Structure 1
Amino acid sequence: MQYHKITAEDVKELSALIGEANVVADEEKIDMYSRDEVSDKLWEKMPEVVVKPENAEQVSKVIKWANQKIVPVIARGGGTGLAAGAVPLSGGIVLSLEKMNKIIEVDTANLFMVLEPGISTGEVQRTAKEHGLFYAGDPCSAESSFIGGNVATNAGGNRAVKYGTTSRHVYGLEMVMPNGEIVTYGGKNVKDVSGYDVIHLFVGSEGTLGVITKIWLKLMPLPKFVATLLVPFAEMQQAINVVPKIMTAGIVPACLEFMDSESIKASEIYLNKKLPYSDAGAYIICQVDGTTEQQVESEYEIIGKICTDNQALEVFVSDNMASEERIWKARKAYAEALRMISPVYCMEDIVVPVSNIPAALDAIDQIAKRYKCRIPSAGHAGDGNIHCTVLREDRDEHTWHELKDSVLPEIYEVVYKLGGSLTGEHGVGAKRVEAMAKHMSPAQLGVLKSIKDTLDPNHIMNPGKVLLYS
C-alpha cells in the first residue's frame, strides 16, 4: 500500500479539525511515540505527527481525514506493549488516547463501569474498589497500561486463570471505524445475541479494525477474603509439575504464577529486598479469594498440602497486606528486573495447555543450552502462559539478531507441537506477524484478511500489525 506522506499543510488541516493544542509535529516531543516497551531498536519508527483527541467526535474527524488521504493511523494507549503494536512502522499519525481519560459512570446497581480508553488499569481497579466492587483484570503493567490497550490486545494478567482475560469483562464498545463512522455495540445488558458478536471481534484486534473510544466493563462484588501463598521449590520441574495437581483439586485459584531461579534473583536485586529462599530453583505464587474466611483457609490449606506432598521447600502464607505486596512486587518486577541484567531482551508470550508446561520449559532450557544463551522464564502457570525472555547481554547487533532468528523459530515450533500458540496476551503486533503467518493455515489467514479488507479497505488502521500483507 502506498501511503500519503504528511506535509506541513496536512498538519494545519489536522489542527483545524481538532485544535492546534491537540496536534504535535515537533520531533523532540513526538520521539516517545516512536516505540513501546520492546527494547530492541529494530522496532522503533518516528511518527510523522501525533494527535491527541479529546473525544470520539475528534477521533472520527481524524480518521475520516486519514481515510480520504490514505494516511496510516496508529492508536496508542500507555505505550506499555511488548509486541511493537503501537509503533508507526509505516509512518503516518499516532493517535494517542491519553486525553480521553474519564470514568463516565460507576453503576453499582448493575455492576458496570463506563469509561474512556485512556485510564490506567490500576485506576480502574482502585475506582471499583472505592465502590465496594472488583475489576478482575490485572496485568503486571496495571499502573501504566491503559484500559483501552488492555481491550485492544485482550490482555490477560495474573488473575486470568480464574476470571478470564479482558474479553470476559467487556460488554459494550463504542468504536470509530476506519471510515470515521462512530458505532456502538452492546452496553449494560449481560445477555444480547442480536446480530454477530462484534464486540469480541474488536477486543484483541490491536487497533487494526478501528479505534476504541468508550468501554462498558463488567464489575463484580469485591472478594471479602484473600490469601497469597509463596512456595519455593529446589527445581523448576518440581514447581511446574505441581500446577496441574492444584488445578484438578477442585479449586480455582485467583492467581497461579511461577518464577524461575534467574527471575527470582533478578527481582531480589531490582527491589533491593531479601526474598525468602531466593536461592530456590523456582517459585509458585498462588492466590485464593472468596466470600468467607473459612472457604479461603480451606483452599489454601489444600493447596499447601499438595505443594508439601510434592517436594516444596516451604509454604509461606501472607498474613497481612505488607507481606502480600512484597510477594507480588517480586512477580510484577520481572520485566524491569531483567533489564538490569540485559537492557535489551526479547520477551515472548507463548501459551500451551497447562499439562504441557513442563515439556515446554524443558524444551526452552535445551534451546538455551544449545545456543549458549540465557532464557529466564516466569508467567501465568495456571493458564499455561509462559514469558520466556531471550537476553542479549553483551552481544553485538549482528550476533544478537542471528541469535533471535535462530532461537525464536525453534521456540515457536515447540509451542505449536505442544498444542499452543505464540501469544497468549501481549498480542501479535509487528513483532510476531511473520511467525503467525507461518503457523496459521492459508484458510485461517484468509478469513482474518477478509474481515480486515472489508472493514478497512484502504488499510489505514495500524498497518503491518497482526496480518502480513505483501
Structure 2
Amino acid sequence: MKEYQPITKEIIEKLRDIVGPSYIKTDTDVLVQYQTDYESDPKRFHMPEAAVIPADAEEIAAVLKLANTYGFPVTVRSGGTSLADGAIPVCGGLVLSMERLNTILELNEDGMYMVVEAGVRTVDLQRRAREAGLLYAGDPSSSESCLIGGNLATNAGGLKAVRYGVTRNQVYAVEMVTPTGDIVELGACLKKCSTGYSLEQLVIGSEGTLGIITKATLKLSPLPPYKFDVLAIYTEPDTALEMVPRLLKAGIEPTSVEYMDNSYVRGCADYCGYTNMPHYEDGMYVIITVESFREEELDTRMETVCQVCEASGAAEVLEADERVWNMRRNCQTSVEQISKVSLTDDIVVPVHNIATTIEHIMEVGKNYPFQVKINAHIGDGNLHIVLCKMDMSDEEWDKNVEAFHQDVYAYTYAAGGRLAGEHGIGNKKLAYMEKFTPAGELNMMKTIKRAMDPNTILNPGKLIEA
C-alpha cells in the first residue's frame, strides 16, 4: 500500500486556518471515536492522526487541495453506520466528517424534489417530505442514524427498494468536490437526459473514492394514502422463498418483501422484549407491504397477497404490526447480545435465484463452527448474512471466515450475483473485489480512479486498489 505523508504541526495549522480552531480534532480521546464505524472487530480499527469537521464545499475543497499538496490521505465519514469498514481510516491520515452540512435547503412541492446537504439525517428528510404530503423513497434500516451523503456514496437500498429502487433512483443531481479540490455540479432536475456521460450516476455508489458529495437534489414521489402490512409465517425455508416469484407474477407491486430466518425471529423478539410472538420456536417471517392510491384496489391486492401466501404453504398469514417491523429494523443490533464480534455480508443475486442461494448458504454454514444468520430483502435479491464469532479464537475465526467467503462468493457470482447489494465494498471486501470482479470491469474502475485522483489521497484502501 502507498506510503503517505504524516499529519505534521504545519499541516495542522493550515487545517486550522481552513475550518477554524474549533473544528479540527487532534486529541486521542476525541479521535478514538473515528477509529471504527459499525465494525465490531478491534483488529480492524485504525486511529486517524487528525479529524476535521468542515462547514461547506469550499472548506472541503481547500482541505483536499492541501492533501494533494502535502500527500496525506483523507477518509470521508458520514453517519458512521457502514458495515463494510467504509469510514475507517485504514491508511491513517485525516478523517473528514460531514456532520455540519446538515441543512435541508429547499423542498419544491410542484416540482416534487428536495435539495439537501450531505449531512442531513435520512429520517429527517423523510419526515420533511411526509409533512408536505410527499415521499422520499430511500429507506435504509439505519435511517434514524445514517446521513444522506453516506446513502449516496454506497447507493444504499433499504426497505422500499422493490417498488421504488435504490438510492441512485431517487437522485436528480449532486454537488461534489473532486479529489483534487474542484467543486462541480453533476446532473440536473430532468426526467431524461442524453447529454454526455451520466456523471452523477458514476459518483453515486463510488464510496467516496471519486469525490465528496456535498449536496443532492432528490426526487420525491406522491405519498400513497393507503397501505397494508402482511406477516406470512413459514416453517420451511424453501416455501417461504418460493413465494416471491408467485407474488410478483400475480401482478402485485409490493413496496417491501422482507425475510427473517428463525434465529432472527427469536433473537429480535428477545432483544425487543416481545413475548408470545407467533411461531417463535419454528417460524420464518416474511413481511409484505403493499401501497395504493385507491382504497378499493388495496382490498383486492390484500386478498391476492393472502391467497398467494396460503397457496405457497404459509403456516399463518397475519397483519404485521409495529412489533414485527421493529424486529426487522433491529436485526443488526440484536446480534450484539449474543456475540461481541460479528460479520455482516450483503450479497445480491437475481431474484429468481434467491431461494437456491439461501439454501446453499445455510447448507454450507453447517460445515463451520460459527452461527450463520440470514435476513434479506428477498423482493430484490439482497441477502444479509451474519456470522457470529461467539467464543472462537481470532485465528480460528479468521481461517473459517475466509473459507466460508470463498465458497459463498464463488457461488454468488456463478448465480449471476455480486459482492454487495447496498452496503458497498469498503475495506472489508477489498481483496474479494480484486478476485471476483471481471478483469475488464475492474480495469475500467481503476482507470477512472487514477484519472480523477492522481495522488490517491481520497478514501484510499476502499472499493478498489488503484
Q: Please, what TM-score do these two structures have when normalized by structure 1?
A: 0.97
Distance in 1, matches of 2:465 and 2:59, equals 30
**1:236 Cα deviation from its structure 2 partner:** 1.4
1:121-140 alignment, distance < 5 Å: 121-140=122-141
Is 1:98 aligned to residue 95 of structure 2? no
**1:190 Cα deviation from its structure 2 partner:** 2.5
Q: Which residues of structure 2 form unaligned runs of 5+?
A: none
**1:2 Cα deviation from its structure 2 partner:** 2.5
1:425-436 alignment, distance < 5 Å: 425-436=422-433
Question: Which string of whole-angstrom CA distances, capped at 9 and with x for unpartnered residues, describes residues 112-150 of structure 1?
Answer: 100001111111110100111100111110100100000
Distance in 2, matches of 1:421 and 1:185, equals 27
**1:310 Cα deviation from its structure 2 partner:** 1.6
Is 1:414 aligned to residue 416 of structure 2? no
- Three-state SS of the structure 1 residue aligned to 2:31 is helix
Question: Do 2:370 and 2:390's aligned partners in 1 also have CA atoms closer than 8 Å?
Answer: no
**1:281 Cα deviation from its structure 2 partner:** 3.3
**1:277 Cα deviation from its structure 2 partner:** 2.2
Deviates more, 1:147-156 or 1:228-237: 228-237
Question: Which string of whole-angstrom CA distances, capped at 9 and with x for unpartnered residues, describes residues 23-70 of structure 1?
Answer: 111111111111111212232101111100011111111111111111
1:355-374 alignment, distance < 5 Å: 355-374=352-371
Question: Which string of whole-angstrom CA distances, capped at 9 and with x for unpartnered residues, describes residues 66-105 of structure 1?
Answer: 1111111111110000000111100111110001000000
The CA RMSD over aligned residues, in Å, is: 1.1
1:22-171 alignment, distance < 5 Å: 22-171=23-172
Question: Do 2:446 and 2:465's aligned partners in 1 also have CA atoms closer than 8 Å?
Answer: no
- Three-state SS of the structure 2 residue aligned to 1:370 is coil
Structure 2 letter corresponding to 1:189: L
1:169-248 alignment, distance < 5 Å: 169-248=170-249
Distance in 1, matches of 2:344 and 2:426, equals 13
Q: Indicate the residue corresponding to 1:459 in structure 2.
A: 456
Question: Which string of whole-angstrom CA distances, capped at 9 and with x for unpartnered residues, describes residues 283-307 of structure 1?
Answer: 1100000101112221121111011
Equivalent residue in structure 1 for 2:400, among 400, 403, 410: 403
Question: Do 2:80 and 2:146's aligned partners in 1 also have CA atoms closer than 8 Å?
Answer: yes
Q: Indicate the residue corresponding to 2:380 in structure 1.
A: 383
Q: Indicate the residue corresponding to 1:348 in structure 2.
A: 345
**1:363 Cα deviation from its structure 2 partner:** 1.1
- Three-state SS of the structure 2 residue aligned to 1:371 is coil
- Three-state SS of the structure 2 residue aligned to 1:375 is strand
Q: Indicate the residue corresponding to 1:312 in structure 2.
A: 314
Q: Indicate the residue corresponding to 1:268 in structure 2.
A: 269
Question: Do 2:187 and 2:198's aligned partners in 1 also have CA atoms closer than 8 Å?
Answer: no
Identity %: 39
Question: Which string of whole-angstrom CA distances, capped at 9 and with x for unpartnered residues, describes residues 445-469 of structure 1?
Answer: 1111110010001011100111124
Distance in 2, matches of 1:68 and 1:383, equals 44
Question: Do 2:374 and 2:383's aligned partners in 1 also have CA atoms closer than 8 Å?
Answer: yes
Is 1:443 aligned to residue 411 of structure 2? no
**1:276 Cα deviation from its structure 2 partner:** 2.3
Q: Indicate the residue corresponding to 1:279 in structure 2.
A: 281
Structure 2 letter corresponding to 1:85: G
- Three-state SS of the structure 1 residue aligned to 2:367 is helix
Is 1:327 aligned to residue 318 of structure 2? no
Structure 2 letter corresponding to 1:51: V
- Three-state SS of the structure 1 residue aligned to 2:405 is helix
Distance in 2, matches of 1:185 and 1:455, equals 15
Q: Indicate the residue corresponding to 1:392 in structure 2.
A: 389
Structure 2 letter corresponding to 1:122: V
Structure 1 letter corresponding to 2:437: M
Question: Do 1:36 and 1:79's aligned partners in 2 also have CA atoms closer than 8 Å?
Answer: yes
Q: Indicate the residue corresponding to 1:303 in structure 2.
A: 305
Distance in 2, matches of 1:153 and 1:418, equals 23
Question: Which string of whole-angstrom CA distances, capped at 9 and with x for unpartnered residues, describes residues 308-354 of structure 1?
Answer: 11211111124xxxx2x222101111000111111211111011111
Question: Do 1:232 and 1:280's aligned partners in 2 also have CA atoms closer than 8 Å?
Answer: no
Deviates more, 1:454-463 or 1:408-417: 408-417
Question: Which string of whole-angstrom CA distances, capped at 9 and with x for unpartnered residues, describes residues 252-274 of structure 1?
Answer: 10000100000000000100012
**1:279 Cα deviation from its structure 2 partner:** 2.2
Question: Do 2:226 and 2:291's aligned partners in 1 also have CA atoms closer than 8 Å?
Answer: yes
**1:185 Cα deviation from its structure 2 partner:** 1.3
**1:409 Cα deviation from its structure 2 partner:** 1.1
Question: Which string of whole-angstrom CA distances, capped at 9 and with x for unpartnered residues, describes residues 334-383 of structure 1?
Answer: 00011111121111101111111121111111211112331010010001
Structure 1 letter corresponding to 2:304: I
Distance in 2, matches of 1:193 and 1:394, equals 55
**1:12 Cα deviation from its structure 2 partner:** 1.2
**1:189 Cα deviation from its structure 2 partner:** 2.3
Distance in 2, matches of 1:170 and 1:191, equals 12
- Three-state SS of the structure 2 residue aligned to 1:315 is strand
Question: Do 1:236 and 1:281's aligned partners in 2 also have CA atoms closer than 8 Å?
Answer: no
**1:245 Cα deviation from its structure 2 partner:** 0.9
Question: Do 2:350 and 2:416's aligned partners in 1 also have CA atoms closer than 8 Å?
Answer: yes
Structure 1 letter corresponding to 2:284: A
Question: Do 2:156 and 2:167's aligned partners in 1 also have CA atoms closer than 8 Å?
Answer: yes
Deviates more, 1:389-398 or 1:199-208: 389-398
Question: Do 1:260 and 1:281's aligned partners in 2 also have CA atoms closer than 8 Å?
Answer: yes
**1:405 Cα deviation from its structure 2 partner:** 1.3
